[in-house]
Chain A
């Protein structure tokens, strides 16, 4: 704890407070002020999160930076925060992404600027709350609260079909999480009145309730990840969302689902997790192969990247249910790496969309002639998306494949098809958009990236390459937690 400050509370409430301040600037006449306050707030949010990494003790598997205050005493609900090697990197990812999103919307968003910037800051704080909560009710509150800003971002600043997409997003995820609430209430009953997630970890449970709880959690988390077959909200949401919304959705919100499996499903119901692992692996492999193929035929750039996201998240869930260190740490790395790469891919598409106002691949061609710097960035991120070694995209996939072969050769075989499909859909997209002769007057008039866009893409490029070349510091903080989790899952609770 740095100078005795409640760091976790700060990373949650600073963005929210500044977000409210941004909202208070009011209408668009004060937009420049709103932008600056939002930028300062998001950077501040990131700075406060840095000590979480530097002060983190990687040797400990227990919760760190713990804060616990009574909230509703009558129901044993606590304001209980703490992070371990699984949640800390996710909080950092979130705090890292928010300033980028604010920057990305800087000149692009011209209407209701304060509300747009404010929504992202508030969302950032809420998501930190999701990752840091150790109390089920607190967690559930943050979890549901995170829906609202995104619902508004899609519904207000989205594309033509935004209302359908926003409602589909909202209902899909809301229905999933209601069952999670029921599971919490059940656990509250059997644990003699505790909402502490850490208590649930130790709670012995017979197999039948374990399976029911697993399914309740599964619906909540699978929708978020999203896993096949509850994935169809994501392409629609992405297509309609503004660039910043897509970035946060792909980079951060999907990770909430993955995080849920690690914090709830695996440790609370380990026997059910083992028992149903075959099904989970099957669903993950379908996501990788089926969605990889579906991505190939997309004509809308954002939809293509959305499907590619689902396929990449398939590696995350596959890694979880292999129950070995390669798989689990690989899945974690994949989540973080996907955060950078999908953010970068959506930002790249945003750069094009801001200029041409079309997401259709067919409306582009020969962009490299007019935007060489952009083409170079896009190449790097496309290659990272295709899992090229030396980029972060490789690390997670590599580790998960190494873990999969230990369990069953054919799991690894199917997962490794991503080497082919991932490269196929990404490079084909790149070829049609970037290469070739200048396709039309709109492309002819393109201007290369501005300094602002260059800065955003360069930051992400450094992150992607750094993790690819030297992932050691990233995984180092996870070891103790992952080992502990694996040992915990191996022990029966029956």
Chain B
């Protein structure tokens, strides 16, 4: 089994190396053959491991010692349990589908081999992240996926927008990592190790300790650690106010938007908090913060999606909002529901993105939905798979998104820590908004009158099979994954991997009422979320099919609100003024005054000038006339003698 564990990350790494280093020698076709078969190997290994874990075989062991310093051993190792095995299957499955899809999407791109190398490298990094049994390797995977994300957003490096977006993504993530690394440092300081199992076992001893980071203000150590770690999650999982990089990341090719910026990498933060549940459970302050941050992200990002016209950006803001749902679930201690939503979201969001990519291929890289419409009859596979994903996303009973989202909303209703009312309002209101923007996308793109130019319209056709095949494969779990909610969320599936304190038992209370998936669906018909969702779909239908003139009128009626949403609450402008402008101003001041004027100008060159000045002074004594020297000597002898005599 250990060999299989190694195979899961190393197979894609090998693929990345082959495609990256030798891609130009083996050519495009062999590059994708090699990488795809190695990712497929990784998927098969993940599935075998998953089955093995279902049999109760959990593994926690080290691969090699990375470093020993002082008394601390830093190891590279694997923790294979239900949580990591689930993630491994999701990651390798979505990754494989994206690899296949890429054959069609990146066809004839000059960077074809490079692209395959990057996405395989990403798969390796993500596997290292989820399989880790310690914080160090977690951080390694964490940064490595960030690197690949950077490389892929800037894949088309000639585009100014792409290379701006990738730098922004990396730097905003670094702000999160800044907190994350400090959190890890605090863990090492208080627990003496970075190994998960040892840290979790020591939680009891540390839980009462306080630390005065600001003198006179004792804070719980656990709270400080959890908040710092969560700042990392806010960066990676794009939570407000560190969400700004994700919409811009859409500059990258669409396959990676699906793989990295929807299904897997951005959920790393969610995964991390769930993994750290024994720590987070001890800190109500951190949980409250998570609830509020998640709530804000859920609602306010969903609102932006309603006014976007770029098809990828709608899906991007939808991703932000859905990540907010997962975050809220974490805050409510409903870790299993968060992971479950992570899983269902990975499938339906991957379909939405890949479907959007398929539309973009057909539209010759036009992404504006105002120039689409009526695509349904040209692209049946794309339409129906996206329709399924939209229904799942809107939370219609029977589809995967319904189960996971409903569980989150209900769990938040049962939770009882500060901030929960606000979060509950946000997740509830967002149900309506989600249904609205998702179906707005479907209706604007696929229904109604075609609005594209004649040339594009003539060439409209369904995408090739390498593109539609992944859509169909991913559509299956989009429908069906939700039906496993019973064992996964309410059952004992995550026992041992996720820890919940008795006082945070929202999921347990919810589980007590759970009467099977059909019971859940029937119960939903009498609850608010279902009707909000129906209302959202209806509104979208009315505005974008029946009265297509209305959206413009509403926009003009509420122009200030529209502008605020369209400009994304002006957060980008604010950041670029404060951070980019501020640090540049500060740094040029420090350089021009600190280094050039004060240190070099005053001290260094000043010292040189003093030496030069005193040299001119001394030079006056060296006239070369004997009588000057003789006179000086006589004076000197006189002075010395008189002092001696005196």
Q: Which residue of A lies closest to B585 (CB)?
A: A297
Contact size range, B: 35 or more
Contact A419 B181 (CB under 8 A): yes
**Contact flags (1/0) for A281-315 with B, using CB distance below 8 Å?**
00000000010011111100000000000000000
Contact B66 A419 (CB under 8 A): no
Q: Which residue of A lies closest to B213 (CB)?
A: A409
Give the residues in chain B near A233, CB-CB below 8 Å.
604
How far is it, in angstroms, between the C-alpha of A318 and the C-alpha of B144 when the chains are bound?
A: 27
Contact A294 B594 (CB under 8 A): yes
Asked if A280 is at the interface (CB within 8 A of a chain B CB), the reply is no
Contact A427 B64 (CB under 8 A): no
Asked if B586 is at the interface (CB within 8 A of a chain A CB), the reply is yes
**Contact flags (1/0) for A376-402 with B, using CB distance below 8 Å?**
000100010000111000110011011
Contact A479 B584 (CB under 8 A): no
Contact A290 B213 (CB under 8 A): no
Asked if A258 is at the interface (CB within 8 A of a chain B CB), the reply is no
Q: Which residue of A lies closest to B70 (CB)?
A: A325
Contact B587 A399 (CB under 8 A): no
Asked if A406 is at the interface (CB within 8 A of a chain B CB), the reply is yes
Contact B67 A472 (CB under 8 A): yes
Contact A402 B185 (CB under 8 A): yes
Contact B590 A475 (CB under 8 A): no
Contact B189 A472 (CB under 8 A): no
Contact A427 B182 (CB under 8 A): no
Selected contact of B171 from candidates A229, A330, A424, CB within 8 Å? A424
Asked if B272 is at the interface (CB within 8 A of a chain A CB), the reply is no
Chain B contacts with A in 137-159, Cβ cutoff 8 A: 139-140, 143-144, 147, 150-151, 154, 157-158
Interface hub of B68, B70, B147, B189 (most chain A Cβ within 10 A): B70
Asked if A232 is at the interface (CB within 8 A of a chain B CB), the reply is yes
Given known contacts A389-B140, A428-B167, A472-B67, A366 and B178 CB-to-CB distance under 8 angstroms: no
Give the residues in chain A near B595, CB-CB below 8 Å.
232, 294
**Closest approach, in angstroms, between the C-beta of A435 and any C-beta of chain B?**
4
Given known contacts A294-B587, A294-B594, A419 and B140 CB-to-CB distance under 8 angstroms: no
Query: Which listed segment binds B: A47-55, A139-147, A184-192, A410-418?
Result: A410-418
Selected contact of B143 from candidates A330, A388, A424, A471, CB within 8 Å? A388
Give the residues in chain A near B65, CB-CB below 8 Å.
472
Give the residues in chain B near A326, CB-CB below 8 Å.
69-70, 72
Give the residues in chain A near B67, CB-CB below 8 Å.
395, 399, 471-472, 475
Asked if A420 is at the interface (CB within 8 A of a chain B CB), the reply is yes
Contact B604 A168 (CB under 8 A): yes
Give the residues in chain B near A416, CB-CB below 8 Å.
178, 181-182, 185
Give the residues in chain B near A298, CB-CB below 8 Å.
591
Q: Which residue of B lies closest to A290 (CB)?
A: B590
Contact B604 A232 (CB under 8 A): yes
Give the residues in chain B near A324, CB-CB below 8 Å.
70
Contact A405 B167 (CB under 8 A): no
Selected contact of A389 from candidates B139, B174, B584, B603, CB within 8 Å? B139
Asked if A470 is at the interface (CB within 8 A of a chain B CB), the reply is yes
How far is it, in angstroms, between the C-alpha of A368 and the C-alpha of B151 when the chains are bound?
A: 13
Give the residues in chain B near A229, CB-CB below 8 Å.
599, 603
Q: Which residue of B lies closest to A404 (CB)?
A: B185
Give the residues in chain A near B151, CB-CB below 8 Å.
379
Contact B68 A437 (CB under 8 A): no
Contact B66 A471 (CB under 8 A): yes
**Closest approach, in angstroms, between the C-beta of A285 and any C-beta of chain B?**
14
How far is it, in angstroms, between the C-alpha of A398 and the C-alpha of B185 when the chains are bound?
A: 9
Give the residues in chain A near B177, CB-CB below 8 Å.
419
How far is it, in angstroms, between the C-alpha of A402 and the C-alpha of B147 when the chains are bound?
A: 23
Contact size range, A: 35 or more
Asked if A84 is at the interface (CB within 8 A of a chain B CB), the reply is no
Asked if A436 is at the interface (CB within 8 A of a chain B CB), the reply is yes
Contact B174 A419 (CB under 8 A): yes
**Closest approach, in angstroms, between the C-beta of B251 and any C-beta of chain A?**
12
Give the residues in chain B near A436, CB-CB below 8 Å.
157-158, 160, 163
**Closest approach, in angstroms, between the C-beta of B219 and any C-beta of chain A?**
11
Asked if A369 is at the interface (CB within 8 A of a chain B CB), the reply is yes
Contact A427 B144 (CB under 8 A): no
Contact A427 B167 (CB under 8 A): yes
Interface hub of A297, A404, A431 (most chain B Cβ within 10 A): A297
Give the residues in chain B near A476, CB-CB below 8 Å.
68
Give the residues in chain A near B140, CB-CB below 8 Å.
389-390
Asked if B325 is at the interface (CB within 8 A of a chain A CB), the reply is no
Contact B154 A297 (CB under 8 A): no
**Closest approach, in angstroms, between the C-beta of A422 and any C-beta of chain B?**
9
**Closest approach, in angstroms, between the C-beta of B17 and any C-beta of chain A?**
12
Chain A contacts with B in 465-489, Cβ cutoff 8 A: 470-472, 475-476, 479
Q: Which residue of A lies closest to B125 (CB)?
A: A390
How far is it, in angstroms, between the C-alpha of A417 and the C-alpha of B177 when the chains are bound?
A: 10
Contact A399 B157 (CB under 8 A): no
Asked if A423 is at the interface (CB within 8 A of a chain B CB), the reply is yes
Selected contact of B170 from candidates A405, A427, A470, CB within 8 Å? A427
Give the residues in chain A near B185, CB-CB below 8 Å.
401-402, 404-405, 412, 416
Asked if A240 is at the interface (CB within 8 A of a chain B CB), the reply is no
Give the residues in chain B near A290, CB-CB below 8 Å.
590, 594
Selected contact of B147 from candidates A172, A369, A388, CB within 8 Å? A388
Given known contacts A297-B588, A405-B186, A472-B66, A420 and B178 CB-to-CB distance under 8 angstroms: yes
Contact A383 B69 (CB under 8 A): no
**Closest approach, in angstroms, between the C-beta of A150 and any C-beta of chain B?**
19
**Closest approach, in angstroms, between the C-beta of A471 and any C-beta of chain B?**
5
Contact A435 B163 (CB under 8 A): yes
How far is it, in angstroms, between the C-alpha of A409 and the C-alpha of B185 when the chains are bound?
A: 9
Give the residues in chain A near B603, CB-CB below 8 Å.
229
How far is it, in angstroms, between the C-alpha of A423 and the C-alpha of B235 when the chains are bound?
A: 15
Chain A contacts with B in 264-286, Cβ cutoff 8 A: none
How far is it, in angstroms, between the C-alpha of A419 and the C-alpha of B600 when the chains are bound?
A: 28
Contact A472 B68 (CB under 8 A): yes
How far is it, in angstroms, between the C-alpha of A390 and the C-alpha of B128 when the chains are bound?
A: 12
Contact A325 B69 (CB under 8 A): yes
Given known contacts A294-B590, A412-B185, A232 and B599 CB-to-CB distance under 8 angstroms: yes
Give the residues in chain B near A471, CB-CB below 8 Å.
66-67
Chain B contacts with A in 576-598, Cβ cutoff 8 A: 583-584, 586-588, 590-591, 594-595
How far is it, in angstroms, between the C-alpha of A476 and the C-alpha of B167 when the chains are bound?
A: 37
Contact A424 B182 (CB under 8 A): no
How far is it, in angstroms, between the C-alpha of A410 and the C-alpha of B224 when the chains are bound?
A: 13
Contact B182 A412 (CB under 8 A): yes
Q: Which residue of B lies closest to A376 (CB)?
A: B20
How far is it, in angstroms, between the C-alpha of A405 and the C-alpha of B163 when the chains are bound?
A: 35
How far is it, in angstroms, between the C-alpha of A401 and the C-alpha of B228 when the chains are bound?
A: 15
Asked if B497 is at the interface (CB within 8 A of a chain A CB), the reply is no
Chain B contacts with A in 594-618, Cβ cutoff 8 A: 594-595, 599-600, 603-604
A-B contact pairs, 29 of them (CB 8 A): A293-B590, A294-B591, A294-B595, A295-B587, A296-B583, A296-B587, A297-B588, A298-B591, A325-B69, A326-B69, A366-B158, A368-B157, A369-B158, A379-B151, A388-B144, A389-B139, A389-B143, A390-B140, A404-B185, A412-B182, A416-B182, A419-B178, A427-B171, A431-B167, A434-B157, A435-B157, A435-B163, A471-B66, A472-B64
**Which 6 residue pairs across A and B have the least CB separation, nearest first?**
A325-B70, A293-B587, A405-B185, A389-B140, A435-B163, A435-B157
Given contacts A326-B70, A390-B143, A427-B167, 5 further A-B contacts (CB under 8 A): A232-B600, A294-B590, A405-B182, A427-B171, A470-B64
Chain B interface residues toward A at CB < 8 A: 64-70, 72, 136, 139-140, 143-144, 147, 150-151, 154, 157-158, 160, 163-164, 167, 170-171, 174-175, 177-178, 181-182, 185-186, 188-189, 211, 213, 583-584, 586-588, 590-591, 594-595, 599-600, 603-604
